[in-house]
Amino acid sequence: MTTGARSASIERATKETQISVTLGLDGTGRTDIRTGVGFFDHMLDAFGRHGLFDLIVRCDGDLEVDAHHTVEDVGIVLGQCFREALGDKAGITRFSSLAMPMDEALVLAAVDVSGRGELFWDVPIGPERVGQFDCELGHEFFAGLARDAGVTLHLRKIAGENAHHILEGTFKAAGRALRLACQPDPRVVGVPSTKGSL
């Protein structure tokens, strides 16, 4: 796992979840995910691998209730790791967008590492569940991630019928778009903003 300057490790404990996340922005996509929610682990693995983020996630959540707190709170802590690892954001690309195909599904992701964390979600999914995973939790994860990372994140389904494919395409698209937006651009001097800060 990467341990360079663009990395962060954060722990968060509440009555609902105990979470630790380690993130390396300049990694190779090595992941070690254990949240107790199998499908969510699969999605986080896809996010890390396609973002080329080195990612370790541990979560002990109140799964006897449901997976809501686990998924949302992991998004929050991962977002905090992104914010810390990016530091003052000097030299980053800042913007990116791409369309990610996943079989019949096609998902658009667009990112602005703006310092203003907000999610714009237009990812309708027909089935309510993939296995035991509530599809609406995809929104909860990305809302926490975007808010706490301080990034503007647009996610939109362009095509797709299979809920697994749509969600997996969304996680892959977001990981890839964040990778491109966070990567250094050698032509950028200082912070990429006319205001001088992000």
* CB of 20 closer than 8 Å to CB of 10: yes
pLDDT tens column, 81-106: 999 999 999 999 999 999 999 999 99
pLDDT tens column, 10-19: 999 999 999 9
Q: What is the CATH number of domain 7-182?
A: 3.30.230.40
Going from N- to C-terminal start, the domains of the chain cover 7-182
- Contacts of 186-192 with CB under 8 Å at 24 or more apart are 186/91, 188/90, 188/91, 188/92, 188/93, 188/94, 189/91, 190/90, 190/91, 191/88, 191/89, 191/90, 192/89, 192/91, 192/92, 192/93, 192/94
**What global pTM score does this model have?**
0.94
